[in-house]
Amino acid sequence: MTDVPEINPPNPEAFLKEARTLATHAPLLRAPEKVHSVFLVIIVAACLPLAGGVVLFGWRALWVVFVSVVSCAVIEKIYFRVTHTPALLGRTHAYLTGVLLALTLPPFTPWYVVVLGALFSILVGKAIFGGVGHFLWQPALVGRFAIAVITPILAPMLGTTDVLQPLSWGVLDQQHIVFGDVKEVKTPKDYRGWKLTDAPDGTNGFAMPHPNKVMSKLWLKSDDNFHNFSSIGTVRDDIPNRQCMLFAVLPPVSDMLFGARPGGIGETCSILIIAAGLYLVYRNYVKWQLPVVIILSAAIVVSIAPIRFTGPNGTMETVWFPMFAEGIEIGFTYVLYQLLGCGLLVAAFFMAPEMTTSPVTTGGQVIFGIGCGSIAMLMKLYMDIPIPAYVAVLVMNTFVPTIDSMWQPKVFGQKHFPWLARAKK
Amino acid sequence: MLFQRYGKFTGGIDVPEEKDSTVDKPISIPEATDSLRIPLMPCQTLPSQPTVTVGARIEPHQRIAAAMKDGIDIFAPLGGTVKSIDEKTIELADLTQPKGIPESSIETSWSDLDSVQLYQRLAESHLPTFGARGETMMGWINRAKKSQANTLIINAVECQPYVTADHRLLAEFGSEVITGSAILGKTIGVSKIIVAVDETHTDDYTELLETNAQYDIQCIALPRKYPIGADNILAYVLTRHEVPCGQDPESIGIAMAGPAECFSVYRWVVCGQRLGGRVVTISGMHAERPGNYFVPYGTDIHELMAPAEEPFIIGSPMIGRLCPEGSVVKPSTDAVVAIDPTIVGVPSQCIRCGWCHDHCPARLNVAVLNDHYELSDIAQAEHLGVLSCVECGVCSYICPARLPLAERTRKLKRAIKRRQTSMPLFTPAPKPPESDR
C-alpha cells in the first residue's frame, strides 16, 4: 500500500477558533465598538427621518423602504455567492445602503425602479471596488444617480410620462396620515399650510409643485410659464400680472421645516434629519465640522449667486445679490427655502459623512465640505439636475483620494506640514 | 500649599480606570516563595558576571554578580543558597523571609554633599531605573547631564489602568520621594523640578505637600486623560515645547524620572539601603489577592499570582504584554494584571473612520500609515512622522475594524530604525470562509 496524503476537509472549527482569537499584542483591551455596530447605529439614526416620511407620505413609503433594503441584501448575497469577495462582510452595510437609498426616493416610486437603484448601488457602487472600505463613491448615491439618469429614458417604454419628476407631488392630509394613499391627491385652491388647509373632497391630501423645482433653474430659460415671478418676496406694482416667488407659490416655512412638502421619503422632515444628525455627531460617527461647513458654504453661495426672473413677454430681470436685494429678512427667508428645498440636509448629515468616502483628517473634511455645499448650490441654480446635492457629494467623493494624499496633519514634533516638504526617496 | 492644575493635549481617550480594588491597599509583603531566579540583565545592558558558585550561602544584600562594561552589579534581595547559575539568571533556594520595605534611618546628610560627591555616591549604588526603557541609573544621569537638562519632571501621573504602584509610593513615602527628586535634581544640576500627579488622588498626598516647600519643587495635578503620562506628551503639557520627531524629552532639555527612582535614590543616599525589590500592583478580576506588594526581584510571576490562572499581563493592559512561562519580576514590572484579553477575532478591512487619527495624542494619521505598512512604503511613513508615535495603543484600542494598528506602527518604527526596507512587512491574512453575519 502506498501512502496517500490525506487531504484535510475544510474545518469550520478551526475558523471559529481563529474568529475567537484573543488580543496578543498591546493593547490587550479593546473598545466595544465594531464595524457592524457602527453601521447599525447609523441605520437607527436614519430611521428617524424615515419615520417622518412614513407619517407624511403614508404606508407607500414603508413599501419603498422594504423593497430597497431587501433587494440590496439579496443582490449582495448573490454577488457574494458568485465571486466570494471577502470584503463584503455581513449584510449590515447592505441594509444601511438600502435605507439610505430609500431616504432619497419619492414615496410613489414603482418597485422596479427601486430594484434598479439597489442593483446599481450594490454592484457599481460597492461590489466592483471590492466591498466595504474600498469604494470610491457613496453607494446609495450611485443608485440614486443611476435612477435619475435612467428613468427619463425608461419612461416612454413603460407608457408613463415621468416616473420620478411629475409636475405635482402628493402630501397626505392630517386626517389621512399613515393609512392614506398618496396617489389620491388634488391641488387645493388656496394652500395656507398643512395645518390650516383641509384636503379637497374625495382625496387623501394635497398635490403641490416640488419647491426644488420652483426655485432651481432660475438662470435657465424655461418654456412653461412656471417661473413668472416678479421678484423674490415682494410683489412689484410696476409689472402687472406677476407674483412673488416665495410667499405666493411655495408652502410656508413651517411646512418646509416639519416636512409637509413634496420630496424624497427622508428628505422633507428637516427637524428630524437635524435631530438624527446631532445624534450621530454626539456618537462621534460624524465630525461636526463636515455638516456645518456644507450648510454654511451652501448658504454663502446661495446668498451671493445671481438669479434671474423671466416674465410672460420675454422680459428679464436679474437679481445680483439675492440676500440683500429686497431687504435682509426676505433674503434670509430665500436662503432658508433654498437650503431646505433640495436634499441638502440628508446629504450633509448622512451621505457626505459616510466614513469610507470622506477624507480622514478634519482639515480634509473641511475642504470636502466646502466643495459639496458650493457645488450643490451652483448646480441647483444654474443646471437642470433634479438631485443637485447628491451629485455634488458624488463629485467631491471622486476627489477624496487626492485630498487624503495631499492634506496630511502636522504631527507632534514636526515643524512644518508634511505637504510643504518633499518626501525623501 | 495646594496643587497647581493645568495642561491639555489634543487627542486621547478615557480608558476605564479599574483602580478601585487596589488604590487604598497599603504596600504589603507578598507570600514567601520557594526560590528566586534573579535576572542577570535587569537593564538593557550586557549581562553581569556571576561572582558566586553553586551551593554558596548568600546573605541578604550580598553582591552576587559583577558589572560588565556599563552594566550594574547584582545584589541578592534575600538570603539563601545558590541552587543553579545559567547565562541569564541565578537561582536562589532556602530563602529568608521577605521583609518588605525597611524602616528609614537618616545616616547621611545629603545637603552637605555637592553634585560631584552625589554623582560618585550614586555611581556606587548600582541602581536600575524602573521605566520600560531599561536603563541603569547612571546611564540615565549621564544622558541627562550630557543634554544639559534644566528641568526635571517626576512623572507620577500613572494614567495606565489598573496600576497603582506609584500612587501608593507617593501616598506612603511622599516626603522621601520629594527629597529623592531634590537629590536627583542637584546631581544633574537642573534649575526647576516639577512633580506631576493625577488630580483624582490628591487627597492622599498630604505628606508630599508638606515637604515640597523646603526644596522649591512645583507640584502639579493633571486631569485624567489617557495617555497624559507618556513622556513626550507630559513634557508638552507641562512646558508647551513639542519634542522633535523620534527623540526624547532630553533633546529639549527636560529630564524625566519616576517616583520609584526618586525613592530608591533617597534610600541609597540618605539611608544607605539598597532596595532589592519594587512595588508591584497585583490586580484584575481573576487575581486572588489584589493589592500593592513590595516584591523582591526574581520572584516568579506565576508563583506570585497563584492560585490564579493564566493569562497574566505584565504592565498595564494598554502597553503591557502577555506573561510568558517562567518570567520573573524585574525593575520594569510595575503591575501584573490577571484579566482576559479582549476577543478580537480576524481583523476586517479599514473603513477609514479616522478615529485613530482623531484620538492619536501625536496627531498621526494612523489610517494612512496602515496603508503604507501594507505596501511596505517605509520612506513615506517616515515622511509622515511615524517616529513621533508614543506607543500608547490608543489607535488599536478604538479601531472598530480591530486592526492591530499599534503593533503595525511599532513595526514601522523598528524598520525605519534598522533601515530594513528589503523585507516585505505585510503578509496577507488567510481568506476567511463564507460567513453570513
Nearest by CB to B384, from A38, A284, A418: name it.
A418
Chosen domain end from B269, B295, B317: B269
In the predicted model, is pLDDT for residue A86 greater than 70?
Answer: no
B209 in a structural domain:
yes
Of the candidates B348, B394, B407, which has its C-beta nearest A89's C-beta?
Answer: B348
Residue A349 pLDDT exceeds 90? yes
C-alpha distance from A17 to closest chain B C-alpha (Å)? 9
What is the chain A residue with the closest CA to B434?
A84
Per-residue pLDDT, B1 = 46
B54 and B79 share one domain: yes
Q: Answer yes or no: do B9 and B126 share one domain.
A: yes
Residues B55 and B165 grouped into a single domain? no
Indicate whether A172 pLDDT > 80.
yes
Claim to verify: residue B187 and residue B129 sit in the same structural domain: yes
**Residue from the list A30, A132, A423 with its beta carbon closest to the beta carbon of B349:** A132
- Nearest-CA distance B359 → chain A (Å): 11
**Is residue B282 included in any domain, yes or no?**
no
What pLDDT score was predicted for residue A227?
59
Q: What is the mean pLDDT of residues A6-28?
A: 63
Q: Which residues of B touch A362 (CB under 8 A)?
A: 358
Render pLDDT for A193-245 as a digit per residue (tens, 0 to 9).
888 887 777 788 888 888 887 777 677 665 554 556 767 777 766 666 667 77
Say whether residue B352 is in contact with chain A using an 8 A CB cutoff: yes
| Residue of B345, B354, B433 lying closest to A21 (CB–CB) | B345
In-domain check, residue B363: yes
Residues 147-186 of B with CB under 8 A from A: 161
Burial class (CB in 10 A: 0-12, 13-18, 19+), B26: exposed
Nearest Cβ partner for A418 among B349, B383, B394: B383
Q: Report whether pLDDT(A5) > 60.
A: no
pLDDT for the residue A322: 85
Residues of chain B positioned with their CB less than 8 A from the CB of A26: 317-321, 391, 393, 396, 406-407
Q: What is the pLDDT of residue A205?
A: 84
Q: Is residue B345 part of a domain?
A: no
User: Is B374 within 8 Å of chain A by CB?
Assistant: no
Give the number of beta-carbon pairs within 8 Å between A and B.
Answer: 189
Q: What's the confidence (pLDDT) of residue A16?
A: 55
Give the residue ranges of DSSP H helices in A120-191. 139-158
Flag if B341 and A409 touch (Cβ within 8 Å): no
Chain A closest-CA separation from residue B320 CA (Å): 6
B362 touches chain A (CB under 8 A): yes
pLDDT for the residue numbered B335: 92
Q: What pLDDT is recorded for position B348?
A: 83
- In which residue ranges of chain B is pLDDT below 70? 1-7, 419-437
pLDDT at B165: 92
The reply to whether residue B352 touches residue A355, judged by beta carbons under 8 angstroms, is: yes
**Is A30 within 8 Å of B402 when comparing Cβ atoms?**
yes
Whole-number mean pLDDT of chain A?
A: 84
Q: Are residues B67 and B133 in the same domain?
A: no
Answer with the one of B76, B96, B116 that is the final residue of a domain.
B96
Residue B37 sits in a domain of what CATH number?
2.40.50
Q: Which of A284, A288, A216, A276 is nearest to A245 (CA)?
A: A216
Contact A27 B317 (CB under 8 A): yes
pLDDT attached to residue A162: 67
Supply the pLDDT for residue A18.
Answer: 55
pLDDT surpassing 60 at residue A6: no
Identify all chain A residues contacting B247, using CB atoms and an 8 Å cutoff. 413
User: Hey, are the CB atoms on B437 and A36 less than 8 Å from each other?
Assistant: yes
**B253 in the same domain as B175:** yes
Q: What cell numbers appear for B201 in the block?
A: 488622588
Instruction: Quote the minimal CA–CA distance from B274 to chain A in Å.
Output: 33
**pLDDT of res. A1:** 43
**Residue in chain A lying closest to B400 (CA):** A34
Shared domain for B77 and B127, answered yes or no, is no
Using 50, 70 and 90 to split pLDDT, how confident is the model at A96?
very high
In a domain, B261, yes or no: yes
* Domain contains B310: no
Alpha-carbon distance of A135 to A128, in angstroms, equals 8
Which of A166-175, A326-335, B265-274 comes out lowest in average pLDDT?
A: A166-175
pLDDT band for A27, please (50, 70, 90 cuts): confident
Q: Which residues of A touch B349 (CB under 8 A)?
A: 87, 131-134
Which range of residues forms the domain containing residue B389? 355-418
Q: Do A29 and B161 touch (CB under 8 A)?
A: yes
**Is the model's pLDDT at A425 over the cut of 50?**
no
Contacts of B434 in chain A (CB under 8 A): 80, 84
Note whether B116 and B138 are same-domain residues.
yes
Q: How many domains does chain B have?
A: 3
pLDDT tens digits for range B210-260: 777 788 888 888 888 888 989 999 999 998 888 998 888 999 999 999 999
B55 shares its domain with B161: no
B158 and B73 part of one domain: no
Range name among A17-31, A146-160, B184-198 with the lowest pLDDT average: A17-31
Alpha-helical regions (H) of A203-310: 211-215, 245-249, 253-258, 270-282, 289-304
Same domain, B85 and B232: no
Q: Examine the fold and report which residue of B253, B269, B285 is the final residue of a domain before the chain moves on.
A: B269
Q: Residue B16: inside a domain, yes or no?
A: yes
pLDDT in the model for residue B429: 56
In a domain, B80, yes or no: yes
CATH number of B219's domain: 3.40.50
Same domain, B52 and B192: no
- Smallest CA-to-CA distance from B281 within B98, B99, B22 is with B22
